A and B are shown apart, each in its own frame.
Chain A
Amino acid sequence: MAVIEVSNLKKYYQVFQKEPGLAGSIKSLFKRKYETVKAVDDVSFSIDAGELVGFIGPNGAGKTTTLKVLSGLLYPTAGQVSVLGYTPFDRKPAFQKQFSLVMGQKNQLWWDLPALDSFLLNKEIYEVPRVQFDQTFADLVTMLDLTKVIKVQVRKLSLGQRMKCELVAALLHQPKVLFLDEPTIGLDVVMQQKIREFIKDYNQKYQVTIILTSHYMDDVKELCDRVIIIDKGKIFFDGKLSEIIKKYADRKTLEVVFDRPMEKKSFATIRAAKIKTFTPKRTVFTVKREKVNQIAAELLKSFPVVDLNITESSIEDIIREVFTGRDFS
């Protein structure tokens, strides 16, 4: 059953454009030019209960704007949005008690007080019964290994510790839907891994519906079966991560090691292969999927090959190509 349904969502902004310099500043006092930015432009998708969906796209693609609309922070310009059967912008308390939004770059904790104070405040705000609070709190603190830091002023915590505390604050009321906006941003690799493991365990344990945005492909690869790729406010892929390769990766990679140094021009005869990187004893080609066998045979026959390795393009490569403007349509 769909927990989140979005159809034809649009969110447009009016953005003030100023000419550079003092003259531009003076001119803008009298006359201002506004431009409409289509942050989200006709987006539709649906997410079922318990799904963990990765929402990826370059900066300014419309990911965070979509999450803000789903959370009821932004009023949509057009389209229908339903989360748990509610219209988010109505901001009904019954809805707000069932979801959480965690932003990696901002905090909801009281800066000058220990995180524990914010947790107790959230207990009252979300009207969590004492028994449920105690149980969830103990569970989260153990899972995130936070026993020693909850009584330290938030301002004195490291970024990783703070992020963990943010997660606790967001989960104490046991939300059914969780929006995670770049939860691992700025964290070191060890901490990224810990947060990732936590999200995975939490999703499995509580069957929470999660939308995760991240710039780190590792987050998405490890956590999400399904991804939605968004760019310039539009969705152009929605499906299983493995399908991205099938759909967009029309080339494979051939890594060839030779037993003596080769010259680049000697590969001119293999026209169907593109050289990706060249060194005299090791060269990487990219080859159209259907020509891989033929090219591999040709290389083995005509060159002193000691090793040949055929691999799929990595998801990072594909996404990078997508984001840098390669046209897949």
Chain B
Amino acid sequence: MRKYWQIFKINWDSVLVYRFNVLLWRVRMMLSFLTIYFFWGAVFSEYSQIADYSSASLLAYLVVAFFLQTLVFANDSFRITAEIATGDLNNYLLKPMGYLSQWLARDWSLKVLNLMCFMVEITALTLIFKLPVFFLTDWCRWLVFLAASVLAALLYFFFSFLVSSFSFWYPEHNGWPLRFLMLMFLDFLSGTAFPLDIFPQSLAALFKILPTTYFIFFPAQIYLGRLNPGEIVQGFLIMAVWLTVFIFLAKKAWQKGLQIYGAYGR
């Protein structure tokens, strides 16, 4: 376990070593949130209600979604795709440590750092822009929300890992074409820029079974109290199924991929 703790720490070191880079990173995170926030602010200056969201409830959703993005999507493990393509994977394969575990450690290291910055930033933004932050007081719901958030982060990790594994077979451009496509879908289907239930009811059944719904939208709905206990249980079950599927597929792809891995570049 100590080795993963050491990886956790050394990842912080390598992020914090460049101060200007850290500054730009934080500006980028805040700008991406403010762009969406002000876009919806402008929309609500014309409409009082969109689907069953009022201005206040939608903007509150965006703040929770911002929090979830910092937790679920913050990752260093996107580098896996390039490591396979360039042969840098060799460094890890030679050493007595789990490749998945070391990337989990690096991802959580970044997530914790990201969350700490988020707390400072969201406080500053709330004071400046009077954000409609919704404070949850029900500790039971807090627990359910945190469990859903951690599960969402794990679900995203294995999903992303599976996408990266394609580099074993398609190492072109360090695997970025497929990753870009994935990110495009995520923007649309995970609920970062808008809640998914603003779409027509006919799409609700589809969103319910898609794994992407559970990255941001599902935990955010729990936080905002928009789901009944039955829907929460159902959501957790679907998440568990997807997590099992992604872990199984990621491990299979990894085993098969390593057999054809060329260890290029060295």
Contacts and interface: CB of A to CB of B under 8 A. Distances in A.
Interface stretch (A71-79, A144-152, A232-240, A306-314): A71-79
A286 to B, nearest CB: 39
A120 B261 contact: no
B91 A126 contact: no
Interface in B152-187: none
Given A64-B266, A117-B10, A124-B3, A72 B17 contact: no
A127 B3 contact: yes
A275 to B, nearest CB: 44
Nearest to A71: B94
Nearest to A123: B6
Nearest to B89: A73
A: contact size bracket? 20 to 34
B100 to A, nearest CB: 13
Nearest to A105: B266
Interface residues of B, number: 27
Contacts of B14: 110, 112-113
Given A106-B265, A110-B14, A117-B13, A125 B96 contact: yes
A127 B260 CA distance: 30
Given A96-B96, A126-B96, A73 B6 contact: no
A174 to B, nearest CB: 14
26 contacts: A71-B94, A73-B93, A75-B259, A93-B96, A94-B96, A96-B96, A101-B94, A103-B266, A106-B91, A106-B265, A108-B91, A110-B10, A110-B14, A112-B14, A112-B17, A112-B18, A113-B13, A113-B14, A113-B17, A117-B10, A120-B10, A124-B5, A125-B6, A125-B95, A125-B97, A127-B2
Interface of B: 2-3, 5-7, 10, 13-14, 17-18, 87-88, 90-91, 93-97, 258-263, 265-266
Contacts of B2: 124, 127
B3 A68 contact: no
Contacts of A96: 94-96
Interface centre among A100, A112, A122 (most CB of B within 10 A): A112
Contact of A68 (B6, B10, B17, B263): B263
A267 to B, nearest CB: 50
A35 to B, nearest CB: 15
A73 B265 contact: no
Interface of A: 13, 64, 68, 71-75, 91, 93-94, 96-97, 100-101, 103, 105-106, 108, 110, 112-113, 117, 120-122, 124-127, 153, 181
A100 B94 CA distance: 8
